[in-house]
Chains A and B, each alone.
Chain A
Amino acid sequence: MKNNYDVIVIGGGPAGLAAALSAYQNGAKDVLLIERNESLGGILNQCIHNGFGLHYFKEELTGPEYAQKFIDEVKKTPVEILCGTMALSISKDKTVSAINPKYGYMQIKGKAIVLAMGCRERTRGAIGIPGTRASGIFTAGAAQLYMNIEGFNVGKRVVILGSGDIGLIMARRLTLEGAKVLGVYEVMPYSGGLTRNIVQCLNDYNIPLYLSHTITDIRGQKRVEQVVIQKVDEKMIPIPGTEQIIDCDTVLLSVGLIPENELTRQAEIEIDARTNGAAVFENMETSIPGVFSCGNVCHVHDLVDFVTGESIHAGKSAAEYAQKGDAVSTKTFIVKNGEGVGYTVPQKIRVNNVEKSVEIFFRTKAIYKESQIEVKSGDVLIASFKRQHLAPGEMEKIIIPKALLEKAQSSEITVSINGAKIAADDSATKTRVENPDGTVDLICIVCPNGCHINVDPKNDYKVTGNACDRGTVYGKKELTSPTRVITSTAIIKGAEISRVSVKTNKDIPKSEIYKAMKTLDNLEIKAPVKIGDVAVSNIDNLGVDFVITKELDI
């Protein structure tokens, strides 16, 4: 433990892990990683479902497995790790004040700092749902923590508000643990989560998704007893006469994430009101030179793979700053949102600091089909990109080569959407359509792309509409013998936490899911465990094992 470091990374989740690793790999000698929890991995530790890593590792991992890959890499390096440590403030001269029980109050100076604190969930207070203050109202992530880490069931009859991914994931998780999920209600006329999650978390378990609906009252003086659901009009105003009363004991909220920028604000770093994160340059540098921001603290991502990519970039930039100092700037572009664009990251580009190209991430404000993403400088179109489908729930990325940027005339570039806006999109509620010609429309769930495919059972299950070969296999299997990988937890004794995450090492028939789940009941696993250890071998003679997905020491 020193007082001076080349790079200090605040946050040991996926963003911080990747940034610390990348800072070290790019020449920073002394790197310190600060994490407030007792273990690294951040929110991935409670995201025990699979679906991570398809872009970055080209394989499907659970959250803890994805985190472990980076934890292992970081632990091979001399990067110093301080867990159970809370950063309280950052000064302009890049001194971090932090505390932990062992070292007490610390002041640590960094040549460069990477902010990787992640995000938090929007709460009931933020959206002002009327009703009582009864218990039984959870953000989806809080319920996930209770279930997956602490090992507690939070309710029996559950209503989910908001179709964000964590809500969808929790709908399945609650169902598998024995709760009844009565429905997912989304105020927008389109879904907020990934389509593959609607298929594998809602449709698989017959959980209905209602678009343009919201909760207008919560009843029950002690525990939640009822909610009132109402349809909303296009301005999202509840429509009188559409009230439905639902008996339930639990409400889960999955209504958005907010970057956690307390430290950023306190350091008086410029915040972009559109992202609620720091406004950053092309290298993820904030308004304080040498302070970088990446991952969900900068802007909320849908996929951890992109968090990783961005954080590797930020870590590299921090290492460069620690070695070379301020980036020289000859020309700076301000990136503006044009028609249909909600925000962009980066917000500012220093052209001479761009190596070959710059990646711009953004979200649209509405749904578009068949459209062009246009990048303009003044009136000059410098680049355009075609898209089949754009939605606010799906972060978009475009790559602009440096050569094109150099063509720009004015000091601003604008990203806008040229295409037909779609008011509502209920395709997410129609993930399986049996056509009159006997073919079936499905959404492929093999990867987050979610290709809309058509399968023809009369023609040897010929699949069309798929972007890759995996779609061909999926389409046929889905109609003949659908299978899923199941993730869950098991009781663990002798570890810091009381549940360890597990998954089936191969996919199992959908019809066998509940039977397989039963094999985990009252099973007790003893720490220490490693990823891949067998928890239940040959589940119900299916030739498939439940394997551990998280490393836990005694």
Chain B
Amino acid sequence: MEDVIIIGAGACGCSLLYELSRYKVKTLLLEKENDVSVGTTKANSAIVHAGYDPEPGTKMAGYNVYGNALIEQLAADLDIPYKKIGSLVVGFDETDRKSIEKLLEKGNKNGVPGLKILEKEELFLMEPNLSKEAICALYAPSAGIIAPWELALAQAECAVKGGAKIEFNAEVISIEKKKDGFKVKTNKGDFESKFVVNAAGVNSDIVSRMIEPEFFTITPKSGEYFLLDTTEDGIVNTVVFPCPSVLGKGILVSPTVHGNIIVGPDSKISDKDYLGCTAKGLASIREGALRLIPSVNLRASIRNFSGVRADAGLEDFIVGQSKTAPGFFNMAGIKSPGLTSAPAIAKDVAKMLNEAGLEFKPNSNFVSKRKIKRFKHMSDAQKAQAIKENPAYGAIVCRCQTITEGEVIDALNRPIPPVSLDGIKRRCLTGMGRCQGGFCGPKVQSLISQMSKRKQKDIPLDREGMYIIISETKKGDL
């Protein structure tokens, strides 16, 4: 019998897992995919929002501003790539100026630090490549960029080291209320717990309906992106947004923590599990980006991708204990700024669990810090030392990103061992560069195979079923 079962290993679920690992609580996280951060958490704008967008007084406003501050600390403690580069919401006319003034007002009410409106001169000094049509912008110095999948992964790794459990490839089929808790049925067997937390992202409505009457529906909204080569670094210095509209925060142009430029997203209703791009979507992003930064070079694209946002169609997030099923909690409808808010939501839900009777005694095995060796960012002396200590650091696997075999092997030995090429990619960036894994893919696949003692043919690209190779040649079986 567990104390808490969390459903979903995205930013929210993993933040809560980490938060609960501070205490002597038996926590089990159930994830239907084969790794952490396989859903919305890995495919979004990767922005740590400042908090001027949400309506003052909403949970979202509080979580966003608090989450922004928490992430800065978490990034330092858990060695998550993060940069506080600030954001700009750019206005092109007097209507835009009015919305920007409104955002400033909301931001001030929400407690966002350092907000100010920049006029042309100051604005172009900050972003020389910005469209000359721009007239003003809202500057938010507390906004930042992050490796989004690492936020979940880092917290999950620490939690697992501290004693928490994760069951992968475990899809929840039903939840049953028992006398002293819940029985959660999955395709990998039944699990019981006193409390259940629904952090199932785009599927959080389905999970909720397993135990509660229907009260919200997730409308999956897909957003497509371009990721540009590191050669384009410097085209913008901050996260550059247009003025928000009813559709969302609009098409942004921003640096990423890995030195690329991200451009997007659009927004359209899609299927929950559709991860793809359309000619129309990409064209609209191109148009939006060029309006902001006319010189942005979309021919330097190295990848297009899309993510699905879990939009419950409400102004606010759905966070709290179920009205009809006590002991069942929702972290649902977590659309933007969900990534930023996740650590704050987790703290709040932990508090609610405590108030609902979950006992909090300090966990002496709590792991609050993590350090990752990243060869590329070492000084010459550190590089020399790293190879001396482990010769595998002298063998480059991914030439585009300068990732060594040592880093890949380290990743395979981490608390949550990756099982796919993209699992390695999320942990040490192999295949993130301009060749998109064309050169390193087979090598990474063979390293996973050797370390995990599984056949190379069974190592997928990402989720289970995404097989890469089908059989051996010369065995006469094709």
Contacts and interface: CB of A to CB of B under 8 A. Distances in A.
Interface of A: 36, 84, 86, 88, 97, 99-105, 107, 120-121, 123-126, 128, 130-136, 138-139, 141-142, 145-147, 149-156, 177-179, 216-218, 221-223, 238, 258, 262, 265, 489-491, 499, 518, 520-523
Nearest to A230: B279
Closest 6 CB pairs of A and B: A178-B478, A101-B391, A125-B303, A105-B384, A132-B276, A101-B394
A120 B434 contact: yes
19 contacts: A36-B399, A99-B387, A101-B393, A102-B394, A105-B383, A105-B387, A125-B302, A125-B436, A132-B276, A135-B468, A142-B441, A150-B442, A150-B446, A150-B456, A152-B457, A154-B469, A221-B275, A499-B473, A521-B474
Contacts, number: 166
A153 B473 CA distance: 6
Given A123-B436, A522-B476, A222 B388 contact: no
Interface stretch (B13-21, B63-71, B137-145, B459-467): B459-467
Nearest to B436: A123
Contacts of B299: 126
Contacts of B402: 86, 88
A221 B460 CA distance: 13
Contacts of A99: 383, 387, 393-394, 396
A134 B276 CA distance: 9
A135 B466 contact: yes
A36 B301 CA distance: 26
Contacts of A88: 402
Interface in B196-232: 226-227, 231
A220 to B, nearest CB: 9
B302 A131 contact: no
B305 interface: yes
A126 B231 CA distance: 13
Contacts of B279: 130, 216, 238
B275 A151 contact: no
Contacts of A133: 275-276, 305, 462
Contact of A135 (B400, B456, B467): B467
B380 A105 contact: yes
B276 A142 contact: no
Interface of B: 226-227, 231, 273-279, 281-282, 299, 301-305, 380, 383-384, 387-388, 391-396, 399-400, 402, 434-439, 441-442, 446, 456-457, 460-476, 478
A102 B473 contact: no
Contacts of A156: 470, 478
A121 B441 CA distance: 14
Contacts of B304: 124-125, 128, 130
Contacts of A258: 434
Nearest to A121: B438
A128 B301 contact: yes
Contacts of B464: 222
A130 B226 CA distance: 12
Q: Which of A88, A135, A156, A523 has the most CB of B within 10 A?
A: A135
Contacts of B282: 128, 130
B218 to A, nearest CB: 18
B438 A123 contact: yes
B442 A132 contact: no
A135 B462 contact: yes
Contacts of A102: 391, 394
Of A125, A132, A134, which is in contact with the most chain B CB atoms at under 10 Å from its CB?
Answer: A125
A9 B240 CA distance: 43
Contacts of A221: 273-275
A104 B387 contact: yes
A120 B276 contact: no
A132 B384 CA distance: 42
B273 to A, nearest CB: 6
B465 to A, nearest CB: 4
Contacts of B231: 265
Contacts of A100: 394-395
Contact of B474 (A145, A262, A523): A523
Nearest to B391: A101
B265 to A, nearest CB: 15
A223 B474 contact: no
B438 A142 contact: yes
Given A142-B442, A156-B470, A135 B394 contact: no
B136 to A, nearest CB: 33
Contacts of A145: 442
A222 B466 contact: yes
A253 B391 CA distance: 35
Nearest to A258: B434
Given A105-B387, A153-B471, 19 more contacts: A99-B383, A99-B393, A104-B391, A105-B383, A105-B384, A120-B438, A120-B439, A125-B302, A128-B301, A130-B278, A132-B274, A133-B462, A135-B468, A145-B442, A150-B456, A152-B473, A217-B278, A223-B467, A258-B434
B301 A101 contact: no
Contacts of A150: 442, 446, 456
Nearest to B299: A126
B277 A86 contact: no
Q: Could you say which of B304, B438, B467, B475 has the most chain A C-beta atoms within 10 Å of its C-beta?
A: B438
A84 B395 contact: yes
A509 B303 CA distance: 45
Nearest to B466: A135
A40 B391 CA distance: 21
Contacts of B441: 142
B474 A499 contact: yes
Contacts of B474: 151, 489-491, 499, 520-523
